[in-house]
Amino acid sequence: MTRLMLGRTLERICKAVLLLCLVHFLIMMILYFDVYSQRFDIFSRFNGRNFSRTHPYYNLSRPNGTFPTYLPAGDHFLPSTKPETNYTPTIKPVPPCPEVPPGLVGRLLIEFSSAMTLERVQKENPDVTNGGKYTPPDCKAKQKVAIIIPYRHRDHHLKYWLHYLHPILRRQKIDYGIFIINQYGEDTFNRAKLLNIGYTEVLKDAEYDCFIFSDVDLIPMDDRNLYHCYDQPRHFAIAMDKFGFRLPYAGYFGGVSGLTKVQFLKINGFPNEYWGWGGEDDDIYNRITLNGMKVSRPDVRIGRYRMIKHERDKHNEPNPQRFNKIQNTKASMKRDGINSLQYRVLEVTKYPLFTNITVEIGKPPPRPPRG
Ligand SMILES: *[C@@H]1O[C@H](CO)[C@@H](O)[C@H](O)[C@H]1NC(C)=O
Ligand SMILES: *[C@@H]1O[C@H](CO)[C@@H](O)[C@H](O)[C@H]1NC(C)=O
Ligand SMILES: *[C@@H]1O[C@H](CO)[C@@H](O)[C@H](O)[C@H]1NC(C)=O
Ligand SMILES: CC(=O)N[C@H]1CO[C@H](CO)[C@@H](O)[C@@H]1O
């Protein structure tokens, strides 16, 4: 009796084990073919070039794996290219970069607690060339993008920014250069003027098509937020942690934005007369709408940003005149902008991960007497 039961139990266990083996084998086969087809895809796209180099982009742990569905409808991305079936190993010129880069991972974990050094960031990004430049090796990007960062005394933030942004931009297949516009001296900070200077100075370096203006303390939390320019002026940082991942108000244009050369010149660049914190981004927003353009934005799930916490910088106190000035954009934008920009370049240094442009921008005019 007991022997019979023991036999049956054993039989059942054996069957279960066999079934498990079969399932395991099936899953292995599926994974194998999945990986194989993706590799083949990459391999064929690089036309016989050494593809092991691109291996870091190839990441199976793509969160959710559904990134194209998150893309806002207005962005008109083409479907990604299908693997070529009849692959022949001839050397062809590099193809244009795909609209949706294949190696994106989606939502990213951003934290600022681990120790960070420029040496470490440099080791992590061996393909970035002197001055903080990068060109995708395997495809031709449509735009050449200059990333312009207004800057003063933020070494700590810059390390994290470089640590996160270089790999993101590489995965996005952006042809880019990183430029720090460093305000010399301790006079009141002037963000928008530094951005104008950035636009002018990077064009002396190369023919950039697209200008992305980013604060040094803002890190995108999703690499599907593509750092290139769009049909309309782009606002990237629409959902910051400090605003509860929402747009603080409809006309907000702060943090990270991007304009093409044509868009930038159409609004006569940015205002030079906003000294201290605040107002300049609203003025820029007014310039855009007054010139018949609309602000383009990513999906709110993608345009998320983490801000590195800090105390307000010295010499960047809120600008008390900002509310008056914003009212006058229509009158002031023709006279104040890229056409009235004055400054002095003190030093241009190319570091391995960025170019440092130190400029003298003057100081705010004396306050008009009250009354
Ligand atoms: C592929 O590239 C790696 C480094 O980029 C190099 O070490 C390796 O020798 C290359 N392999 C071939 C087959 O060219
Ligand atoms: C792949 O993605 C995961 C999470 O998205 C990340 O932790 C990991 O470092 C990535 N691996 C590579 C090789 O990029
Ligand atoms: C940029 O150059 C200036 C002038 O040499 C220097 O004071 C500043 O620390 C540099 N900034 C960075 C981030 O290296
Ligand atoms: C549907 C789904 O799985 N959504 C998840 C996508 O990934 C993010 C973070 O990686 C999660 O927060 C979502 O829940």
Q: What pLDDT is attached to residue 295?
A: 96
- Mean per-residue pLDDT for 220-233? 96
First to last CA, the chain: 108
Residue 86 domain-assigned (yes or no): no
Report d(CA 205, CA 208) in Å as an integer. 9
Q: What is the three-class DSSP state of 41?
A: helix
C-alpha of residue 217 to centroid of ligand 2, in Å = 23
The residue that leads in pLDDT, 18 or 83, is 18
Residue 323 domain-assigned (yes or no): yes
The residue that leads in pLDDT, 238 or 84, is 238
Tell whether 295 and 169 lie within a shared domain: yes
Binned at pLDDT 50, 70 and 90, residue 34 comes out as low
Q: What pLDDT is attached to residue 87?
A: 56
Residue 56 domain-assigned (yes or no): no
pLDDT digits (tens, 9 = 90+) for 130-144: 999 999 999 999 999
Number of domains in the chain: 2
Tell whether 142 and 20 lie within a shared domain: no
Residue 74 domain-assigned (yes or no): no
Q: In degrees rounded to 5, what are phi and psi of residue 367?
A: -55, 135
The residue whose C-alpha atom lies closest to atom 11 belonging to ligand 1 is: 50
Q: Within its chain, how far is the Cα of 137 from the centroid?
A: 19
C-alpha of residue 54 to centroid of ligand 1, in Å = 11
Closest ligand to C-alpha of residue 103 is 2
Residue 84 domain-assigned (yes or no): no
Tell whether 125 and 37 lie within a shared domain: no
* Pocket of ligand 4 contains residue 61 by CB under 6 Å: no
Tell whether 301 and 174 lie within a shared domain: yes
C-alpha of residue 61 to centroid of ligand 2, in Å = 6
- Mean per-residue pLDDT for 344-370? 91
* Pocket of ligand 3 contains residue 358 by CB under 6 Å: yes
C-alpha of residue 65 to centroid of ligand 4, in Å = 10
Please report the DSSP string for 150-166 in residue order: EESS-HHHHHHHHHHHH
- Mean per-residue pLDDT for 341-360? 97
Out of 43, 49, 51, 52, mutate this one to test ligand 1's pocket (max ligand atoms within 8 Å of CB): namely 52
- Mean per-residue pLDDT for 145-163? 95
Both structure tokens of 106: 């989606």
* Pocket of ligand 2 contains residue 96 by CB under 6 Å: no
pLDDT at 62 over 70: no
Binned at pLDDT 50, 70 and 90, residue 51 comes out as very low
Residue 141 domain-assigned (yes or no): yes
Give the domain extent around 191: 118-360
Q: Tokens 């952006």 — which residue? A: 174
Tell whether 12 and 128 lie within a shared domain: no
Contact present, 153 and 109 (Cβ < 8 Å): no
Q: Which of 106-115, 251-260, 325-334 has the lowest mean pLDDT?
A: 325-334
Contact present, 276 and 319 (Cβ < 8 Å): yes
Q: What pLDDT is attached to residue 369?
A: 63
Tell whether 14 and 153 lie within a shared domain: no
pLDDT digits (tens, 9 = 90+) for 66-81: 444 444 444 444 444 4
* Pocket of ligand 2 contains residue 55 by CB under 6 Å: no
Both structure tokens of 276: 């201290």
Please report the DSSP string for 303-329 in residue order: SEEEE---PPPTT--B-TTHHHHHHTH
Which bin fits 276, alpha (ψ -120 to 50), beta or left (φ > 0)? left
Tell whether 10 and 131 lie within a shared domain: no
Closest ligand to C-alpha of residue 64 is 4
Residue 345 domain-assigned (yes or no): yes
Domain harbouring 335, CATH code: 3.90.550.10
Binned at pLDDT 50, 70 and 90, residue 368 comes out as low
Residue 54 domain-assigned (yes or no): no
Edge-first strand order for the sheet with 304-307 is 218-220, 304-307, 239-240
